[in-house]
Amino acid sequence: MAVRPKAGGFILRVDPILCDGFGHCHELAPELVQIDEWGYPIIKAAPTPLSDANALESARFAVRGCPRQALRIERTAGSN
């Protein structure tokens, strides 16, 4: 059976109040998270397609690796 490509995308979201700028998310998901000059994450704002398995996996790593548990993955029902 052929694997159906997953529709929709995801965005990594951070709770800015919980975030203390450990920077683990940047280490774990460099393609999604940049770090500003104070060490806080700048997250890619555009949704990433769910079919991008590598990005999704690193996003999951980032969510699990966050010491403050400030990250989560939000599904978007976008066209990509």
Provide the binding-site residues for another protein, judged by CB under 8 A: 13, 15-21, 36-40, 42
Q: Which is nearer to another protein, 43 or 61 (CB)?
A: 43
Contact 65, 28 (CB under 8 A): yes
CB of 21 to another protein, least distance (A): 5
CB of 3 to another protein, least distance (A): 31
Q: Which is nearer to another protein, 39 or 57 (CB)?
A: 39
Contact 51, 5 (CB under 8 A): yes
CB of 66 to another protein, least distance (A): 14
Q: Which is nearer to another protein, 5 or 16 (CB)?
A: 16
How many angstroms separate the CA atoms of 71 and 23, rounded?
12
How many angstroms separate the CA atoms of 7 and 28, rounded?
24
